[in-house]
């Protein structure tokens, strides 16, 4: 991959879902803006993250990152995840497995979220 790429993603678990739009700066560094679903217009909750691919292989990428989330939740997130590329003919399609601790400043509490999902790079 020589040029930056855009991506779209969907994350879900038992309690939360979010959709994201990402931008890959290079093979190692990428950002994503994620929006939590299930809120009214005043409750739109964006999450802005920056991730680092510390391992890139033909069939998976492993990453760590961090970011901020504001509005319904207000806090700091740190995530670690794996992007699994299960279909050789569709290398831009990945299954997501992500573990994401969230420190929620308004409640002064730590939440541990796990997400599964899909990501597609354009």
Following CA atoms 8, 104, 64, 115 in sequence, which dihedral angle do they give, to the nearest 10 degrees? -50
| 105 CB-side CA count, 13 A | 8
Q: Are 1 and 12 in contact (CB under 8 A)?
A: no
Tell me the pTM.
0.89
pLDDT in tens, the chain (122 residues): 456 699 999 999 998 899 999 999 999 999 999 999 877 888 889 999 999 999 999 999 999 999 999 987 789 999 999 999 999 999 899 999 999 999 998 788 999 999 999 999 99
Q: Tell me the fold of 5-121.
A: Porin (2.40.160)
Per-domain boundaries in the chain: 5-121
């Amino acid at each position: 991959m020589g040029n930056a790429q855009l991506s779209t993603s969907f994350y879900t678990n038992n309690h939360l879902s979010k959709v994201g739009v990402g931008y890959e700066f290079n093979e190692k560094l990428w950002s994503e803006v994620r929006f939590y679903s299930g809120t009214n217009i005043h409750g739109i909750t964006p999450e802005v993250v920056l991730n680092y691919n510390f391992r890139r292989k033909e069939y998976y990428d492993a990453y760590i990152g961090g970011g901020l989330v504001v509005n319904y939740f207000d806090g700091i997130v740190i995530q670690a995840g794996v992007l699994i590329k299960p279909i050789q003919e569709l290398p831009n399609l990945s299954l997501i497995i992500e573990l994401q601790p969230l420190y929620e400043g308004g409640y002064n509490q730590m939440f541990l979220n796990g997400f599964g999902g899909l990501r597609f790079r354009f």
